[in-house]
């Protein structure tokens, strides 16, 4: 009898649990950095796949987070001593994304709880890791905050609330602006579906950002053949200086 009841419970469970999954689309999954590159805008759109009717209760919210390659950042504190500014303390922020943008369909605090934010590292502050600060350094967390402030001013970090459009709790879309000074590498795009601030589904895809053409050749040469790159840069500078001088003499003589 107990086995029969357990079997009936297992059969009944899918009727109450509505699984929601992301079906995603991107306007482009590759960004080419060229000589006249002045930024890019990526349209992120998708739908929610369900095997049952839309659940009642809390509405569906969507969060989109796009992050660039992460790397350590050395942050220094400057203080004025004897009338001059000098470097004092320094902290190595273990990992900070070169670019980070978050778009939400509701105010951030309503779209996701603090516990879920800590678990998935969605907010800008949670996306940065700084665990190696020495105990004697005062205000160690302020160094990580400085990275956020500087990169927000440079438009590399941003949280854009209420910019994800959600139609009928099924279709969603938003656009992410990417600035001109992008770091080359693989970018991650994460999409979270939440209800009542709790993540019910998430999906991750990648966007490839690469230099192309002459920029790619010069970048590769500067990394793999630095001596040749330096000599070529010197030759171009000498030629440009000589050309400008010759043009100036020609104009003066005429």
**Same domain flag for 120 and 218:** no
Query: Do 153 and 252 lie in a common domain?
Result: no
Judge whether 91 and 137 are in contact, CB under 8 Å: yes
238 shares its domain with 155: no
Q: Is there a single domain that holds both residue 198 and residue 250?
A: no
213: helix, coil or strand? coil
Q: What is the mean pLDDT of residues 86-102?
A: 80
User: Per-residue pLDDT for 82 more than 80?
Assistant: no
Residues 142 and 254 in one domain: no
- For residues 36 and 247, the model is more confident at 247
Mean pLDDT comparison of 73-82, 151-160, 218-227, highest-scoring range: 151-160
Q: Which of 57-71, 76-90, 99-113 bottoms out in mean pLDDT, i.e. has the lowest?
A: 76-90
What is the C-alpha to C-alpha distance for residues 29 and 41, in angstroms, rounded to an integer?
11
Assigned token pair, 115: 């516990």
DSSP string, 8-36: HHHHHHHHH---EEEEEEES-SEEEE-TT
Q: How many domains does the chain have?
A: 2
Quick one: average pLDDT of 192-219?
A: 80
Lowest mean pLDDT among 133-147, 177-191, 196-210, 212-226: 212-226
Residues 117 and 187 in one domain: yes
Asked whether residue 53 is domain-assigned, the answer is yes
Residue 209 pLDDT class (50, 70, 90 cuts)? confident
Residues 184-200 pLDDT 10s? 889 999 999 999 999 99
pLDDT in tens, 130-166: 655 554 555 556 777 888 888 899 889 999 999 999 9
Question: Looking at residue 163, which CATH number applies to its domain?
Answer: 2.60.40.3880
Task: Give CA–CA dist 26/171, Å, rounded.
Answer: 14
Kindly state whether residues 50 and 112 are assigned to the same domain.
yes
Identify whether residues 53 and 152 lie together within a single domain.
Answer: yes
48 inside domain:
yes
Dist CA 55 CA 154 (whole Å): 41
Asked if 243 and 167 sit in the same domain, the reply is no
Banded model confidence at residue 224, pLDDT cuts 50, 70, 90: low
Q: 100 lies in a domain?
A: yes
> Which pLDDT score, from 0 to 100, does residue 120 have?
94
Domain containing 190 equals 15-68+96-211
Residue 204 lies in a domain: yes
Residue 194 belongs to a domain: yes
């Amino acid at each position: 009898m107990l086995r029969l009841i357990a079997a009936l419970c297992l059969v009944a469970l899918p009727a109450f649990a509505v699984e929601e999954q992301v079906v995603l689309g991107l306007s482009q999954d590759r960004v080419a950095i060229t000589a006249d590159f002045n930024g890019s805008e990526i349209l992120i759109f998708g739908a929610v796949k369900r095997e049952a009717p839309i659940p009642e209760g809390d509405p569906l919210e969507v969060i989109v987070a796009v992050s660039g390659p992460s790397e350590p950042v050395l942050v220094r504190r400057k203080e004025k001593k004897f009338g001059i500014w000098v470097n004092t303390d320094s902290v190595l922020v273990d990992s900070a994304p070169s670019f980070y943008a978050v778009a939400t369909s509701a105010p951030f605090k309503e779209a996701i709880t603090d516990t879920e934010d800590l678990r998935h590292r969605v907010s800008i502050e949670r996306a940065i890791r700084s665990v190696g600060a020495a105990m004697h350094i005062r205000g160690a967390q302020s160094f990580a905050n400085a990275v956020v402030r500087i990169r927000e001013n440079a438009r590399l970090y941003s949280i854009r609330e209420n910019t994800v459009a959600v139609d009928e709790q099924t279709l969603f879309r938003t656009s992410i602006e990417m600035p001109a000074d992008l770091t080359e590498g693989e970018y991650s795009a994460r999409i979270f579906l939440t209800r009542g601030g709790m993540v019910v589904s998430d999906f991750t895809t990648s966007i490839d950002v690469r230099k192309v053409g002459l920029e790619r050749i010069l970048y590769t040469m500067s990394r793999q053949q630095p001596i040749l790159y330096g000599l070529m840069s010197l030759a171009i500078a000498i030629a440009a200086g000589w050309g400008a001088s010759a043009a100036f003499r020609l104009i003066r003589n005429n």
